[in-house]
Amino acid sequence: MTPTHRQYRYYDLILAGFVTVLICSNFISAPKRVEVGGFVFGAGVVFFPVSYIFGDVLTEVYGYARSRRVVWAGFTALAFAAGISWVVLRLPADPAWPNQAAWETVFGNSPRIVAASMIAYFCGEFANSFVLAKMKILTRGRWLWTRTIGSTIVGEFVDSAVFYPLAFLGVWDGESVLRVLLTNYALKVLLEAVMTPLTYVVVAYLKRVENEDYYDIGTDFNPFTLRD
């Protein structure tokens, strides 16, 4: 079964919200380090899991194929934003402007970190969407919490397992990479679990107003196609 071509009231708004959260968590909050009670983590960890909530809602309501389009939109937006940052940082700065160093600190992520972030995002989001779609069929649409949390456990693990080694292995020692990977992964999953009641409310509302509750039976799960 493939999605029919329909017009939805909120699909485009959710797409825009997803891309906005993704870019902000990667380019605004990610460079900042936060310390709470001796626990240090990147500020992006607080907001990045919201993109997985968007992914859960999209797959649960509209199906994997439409979620796949949104994941690709996010990937393209990340690539475009990274390209803009690279060009802007290399434009000659006005010598009288005193903030060039601060600008480079915030937006001057190394190509290695940018590439690791994009690859991890791509792998993690598709893993999340795939697991949720399959679990929805397996559970016959019951127990939404099992698939929102279960898919996040898988998706966030894939994202973390790809990002931290690609970005930091060889720069940090292996023990530090593993420690940061596990602690940030646990925090992301915890935040998703805490927001499960909100996910329930949003999913129920969208299913009602959109008159849609898609099951991915017979769906082509190839992540490299945009066909419905």
CATH number at residue 88: 1.10.1760
pLDDT of residue 18: 94
Domain contains 34: yes
Is residue 111 a part of any domain in this protein? Answer: yes
Q: From the CB of residue 41, how many other CB atoms can be counted at a distance below 10 Å?
A: 17
pLDDT score, position 3: 54
Q: What is the DSSP letter of 96?
A: T
| Domain presence at residue 89 | yes
* Residue 31: per-residue pLDDT: 58
User: Per residue of the chain (228 residues), what is the pLDDT tens digit?
Assistant: 555 568 899 999 999 999 998 888 877 665 566 777 777 777 777 788 888 899 999 999 999 999 999 999 999 999 999 899 889 888 898 888 888 888 777 777 778 888 989 999 999 999 999 999 999 999 999 999 999 999 999 999 999 999 999 988 998 899 988 988 998 899 889 998 999 999 999 999 999 999 999 999 999 999 999 877
Residue 71 located in a structural domain: yes
Largest distance between two CA atoms of the chain: 64
Domain count, the chain: 1
pLDDT recorded at residue 100: 84
Question: Considering just the CA atoms, what is the radius of gyration of the chain in Å?
Answer: 19
**DSSP annotation string for 13-62:** HHHHHHHHHHHHHHHTSTT-EEEETTEEEETHHHHHHHHHHHHHHHHHHH
Question: Does residue 150 belong to any structural domain of this protein?
Answer: yes
Domain assignment present for 138: yes
For residue 3, is it within any domain?
A: no
The residue segments making up the domain with residue 111 are 11-93+101-210
Cα–Cα distance, 216 to 61 (Å, whole number): 11
153 occurs within a structural domain: yes
- Give yes or no for a contact between 136 and 215, defined as CB atoms under 8 angstroms apart: yes
